[in-house]
Amino acid sequence: MQGDQQESVNAYRLALVLAIATLSFWAFGHKLYSALLPGLSSGLSLSPTDTGIARAAVVIGYFLMALPAAFISRNFGYKVGMLFGLGTLAVGMFLFHPAVENKSVAYIVMAATVIGSGLAIIEFTVAPLVVALGPKKSAILRMNIAHFFSALGIVIGAVISERILHDALGKTGSMLGQSLLMPMASVGVVAIGLAFFLEIANFPAVASARVAPNDSTWASFRLPLKSPRFRLGVLAQFFALFAQVSIAGYAVRYSLTVMPGWTSQIAEAWLSYAMLGFVVGRFVSCIAMVWVEPMRLLVVFSLGGMICAGISLFASGMIGVYGIVAASFFIAMQFPTIFAHTIRDLGDMAKSATSIVMFAAFSGTGLIGLVVYVLTAHAVRLTLIVPLLCCAGIVACVSAMRRYGQP
């Protein structure tokens, strides 16, 4: 009996380690693709419009798979969902070979859409599995630890992609496209290898649990939405992604505005400090959660994000840049903390709830572009209003959620 319990504990630990490794690989692949896409576009002589379509195709993949991902995890289990996502990602990476060979925009868009679909399935199955792999009390901490390692995956992806692009300097046309094919294909090979390792690993029953054949997935989407607490969590998650993308996406333009003497290279170097601040923020929040209740810590960090965004909004020069870096530190814990808190008590509904949360959150990416476009038409620094208001919205949502019990 004791041996069975130890075996079960080991299975949970192994599954958690592999889930975190998969999420880190997801972040690495995501960053590598986005960093190498401009080089591939140059090698294929794509227009800026075509490049924008190829970049947007990844988001389209997310939209296409947001709800079907719940169908996969509900009817086949989390583990199968992870395998399917990794396989889809690998296929998308391999599709870049015919795209480069034929110099076809259609192939590029198809490959990017498949990559986005694979990334979506991976994220939408791994995230709730991390929450399920242990006690509810430590679910938020597990999710933050997992996202700390995914942030490291982003940093590693940025460093490696920069090295790849540096080695490709001087190459043009098809030679440039060919030189970038190997890194893309390598991601596909690693995805297949990771999927094989996941397949032979001993996962606990929760990773393979399936719903009854007559349990409708479409009907299951309505159940979580009946909870006011869940709806507030979805709104807070929307604010978290809105704040994160608005800072990361427009930090360079903001820096060039408040520091007119800077070049794009200097501004991008400072953006790397903001990325480092983001990673450190997730690490510090994981440590702080040992002593401070996670949702209280979330309120404190969100208030810190408000203050830093406000400083950058009104300040000039290096003070404004420092505010961006500090804001990146404070907003780092928002996304994983809100996600885990929103779904950890939902039991079997967590799979459908995850798709709702992610679909609502990522639907804001298009809205972000519209809002920032309107703001930057007046002044680039006005973009800092977005993270400031989002952090305030998160504080309001958390305060309102406290009025409700368990969903």
Note the pLDDT of residue 338. Answer: 94
Q: How far apart, in whole angstroms, are the C-alpha atoms of residue 396 and residue 378?
A: 28
Q: What is the pTM of this model?
A: 0.89
Note the pLDDT of residue 2. Answer: 45
What's the rounded mean pLDDT across residues 320-332?
A: 91
CATH superfamily of 220-401: MFS general substrate transporter like domains (1.20.1250.20)
Give the whole-number percent of the chain exceeding pLDDT 70: 88
At residue 259 the predicted structure's pLDDT band, cuts being 50, 70 and 90, is: confident
CA 105 to centroid of chain Cα atoms? 26
Q: How far apart, in whole angstroms, are the C-alpha atoms of residue 323 and residue 311?
A: 6
The pLDDT tens digits of the residues spanning 188-211 come to 999 999 999 999 988 888 888 887
The pLDDT tens digits of the residues spanning 33-77 come to 888 877 776 666 666 677 777 777 787 888 788 788 888 888 899
Arithmetic mean of pLDDT over the chain = 84
Let me know if 351 is exposed, middle or buried by CB neighbors in 10 A (0-12, 13-18, 19+).
buried
Phi then psi dihedrals of residue 317, to 5 deg: 65, -150
The pLDDT tens digits of the residues spanning 119-176 come to 999 999 999 999 999 888 999 999 999 999 999 999 998 889 888 877 766 666 567 6
Q: Between the CA atoms of 121, 125, 130 and 133, what dihedral angle is there, to the nearest 10 degrees?
A: -150
The pLDDT tens digits of the residues spanning 88-104 come to 999 999 988 887 777 77
Q: How far apart, in whole angstroms, are the C-alpha atoms of residue 258 and residue 123?
A: 36
Q: Where are the domains of the chain?
A: 2-210, 220-401
At residue 1 the predicted structure's pLDDT band, cuts being 50, 70 and 90, is: very low
Note the pLDDT of residue 407. Answer: 45
Q: How many CA atoms lie within 13 A of 1 on its CB side?
A: 0
Give the whole-number percent of the chain exceeding pLDDT 90: 37
Is 3 a residue whose pLDDT tops 50?
no
Q: How far apart, in whole angstroms, are the C-alpha atoms of residue 309 and residue 216?
A: 44
Name the fold adopted by 2-210. Answer: Growth Hormone; Chain: A; (1.20.1250)
Q: Is-contact 272 31, C-beta < 8 A?
A: no
Note the pLDDT of residue 209. Answer: 82
Question: 201: alpha, beta or left, given left = phi > 0 and alpha = psi -120 to 50?
Answer: beta
Is 331 a residue whose pLDDT tops 90?
yes
